[in-house]
Amino acid sequence: GKAAWSVPLKAPAWESPGVDADRVFAGSADGTLAAFQGATGNVEWQVALGAPVNTSVRRRTNDLIVGPADGLVHRVSARDGRRLASLALDLTLRPVSAPVLTADSALVLLADEGADYRVLVAVDLALTGIKWRREAADKWSTSRVFATSSIVVLGTPHGEVEAFCASTGSPAWSHKLTNVPIPV
């Protein structure tokens, strides 16, 4: 139960690092993405992304998916920090929360300056393009995307649960919760 090591890091409070068998990958508010050796905490590599890291770091095979505050999402080599691909998601909204990786997509929430979740995008895992984009009627109240292999689920501040097809983004169903207190 004793701490093996620690590194001071300015990161969004609710976001998490990525891990593999022997490394921890973390982004920070100074725009740096770094790999730390799991046993010692020593920096193995770091790369400047150009803007504060807003999302959790997600590891997929040998790649990392991460979103800074400039509206881009990056695919970075977990081995050496080399930027493999970058994709612009929006000119005014920024990636937030934890990207959700499915078999063929990364699902990324986009928020406005007021931190309201406005858009969900699905990008192909190579980051060559946006597969689909769903805009909230008003905004979404869930801070995380929930997904299975076939469906993506989000909630609204009006007590609705909305589900979309994971492969196309088309509406699958919605349900209004009743007799549940909705915060104003």
Q: What is the pTM of this model?
A: 0.91
Mean per-residue pLDDT, 143-162: 92
Is the pLDDT at 170 greater than 70, yes or no? yes
Average pLDDT of the chain to the nearest whole number:
92
Mean per-residue pLDDT, 152-174: 94
Asked whether the beta carbons of 88 and 95 are under 8 A apart, the reply is no
Is the pLDDT at 149 greater than 60, yes or no? yes
12 burial (CB, 10 Å; 0-12 / 13-18 / 19+) is: middle
Q: What is the pLDDT of residues 104-119, one digit of tens each?
A: 999 999 999 998 999 9
Is the pLDDT at 184 greater than 60, yes or no? no
Q: What is the pLDDT of residues 1-44, one digit of tens each?
A: 898 899 888 877 678 899 999 999 999 999 999 999 999 999 99
Residue 110 phi, psi (nearest 5): -120, 140
The encoded tokens of residue 76 equal 């970075």
β-strand partners of 149: none
Distances (CA, A) of 85 to 88, 138, 141: 10, 31, 30
More confident residue, 180 or 123: 123
What proportion of the chain, given as a percentage, has pLDDT over 90? 80
**Residue (of 122, 119, 149, 116) closest to 134 by Cα position:** 119
d(CA 181, CA 184): 9
Q: What is the pLDDT of residues 62-96, one digit of tens each?
A: 999 999 999 999 999 999 999 999 999 999 999 99
